[in-house]
Chains A and B, each alone.
Chain A
């Protein structure tokens, strides 16, 4: 089954404790992206990647890192999480030539205390 898988789905952590949210897709998609969603602010793009070893900042990249060492994986790294990074996070992927047809993961709800 074609899917985008995120882990963990739910996480409560404390300020400053490094964490990684993994994202994996099984559709051989070139394009992958991370979004965060907060009440009243809609979906905001954090980082995106057009292919292996190619990443770029979205609208809200501060406090996040990403890497794209393999085509299928695009982890989101919070080196020193802060409470303002409490949010619902979504990973998405698409074929580059069909850029608008994004497939989204189920979301990861992160709480930073």
Chain B
């Protein structure tokens, strides 16, 4: 799996867009970028994933740079309930070892 690098923590004002960066400069061509979040001590929750193109779902948008060396998860209108640790991982389909780093702790400020 490609190693990913994320900031340890970030703050965002409630109602604003939260932009969470992830660097994956060694990502290979067939590795996807996945995002998860973990609220307090609950089980992590899948958010979104992508390969090359930008992706959007009901939870978030994922912007992947053209060279695929970095990506940004966007929560368009952050709420207090979005306070969580966000994990970015890179892996291929059918990967067996799925390794999470330490993620970014996002604080949404009222």
A residues adjacent to B (C-beta < 8 A): 4, 31, 33, 35, 37, 40-45, 48, 50, 56, 58-59, 88, 90, 92, 96-107, 109
Contact B96 A100 (CB under 8 A): no
A100 in contact with B89 given A42-B100, A45-B97, A45-B99 (CB within 8 Å): yes
Question: When chains A and B are docked, how far (Å) is the Cα of A35 from the Cα of B89?
Answer: 15
Contact B103 A106 (CB under 8 A): no
B67 part of interface (Cβ distance < 8 Å): no
- Total number of residue pairs linking A and B with CB closer than 8 Å: 70
B79–chain A nearest beta-carbon distance, Å: 22
Given contacts A100-B34, A100-B91, A104-B44, 6 further A-B contacts (CB under 8 A): A43-B100, A56-B96, A90-B43, A97-B93, A100-B46, A106-B42
Question: When chains A and B are docked, how far (Å) is the Cα of A90 from the Cα of B68?
Answer: 30
Question: When chains A and B are docked, how far (Å) is the Cα of A50 from the Cα of B44?
Answer: 20
Contact B44 A90 (CB under 8 A): yes
Contact A99 B95 (CB under 8 A): yes
Q: Which residues of A contact B93 (CB under 8 A)?
A: 97-100
Chain B 73-100 per-residue mask, 1 if CB under 8 angstroms from chain A, else 0:
0000000000000010101111111111
A94–chain B nearest beta-carbon distance, Å: 8
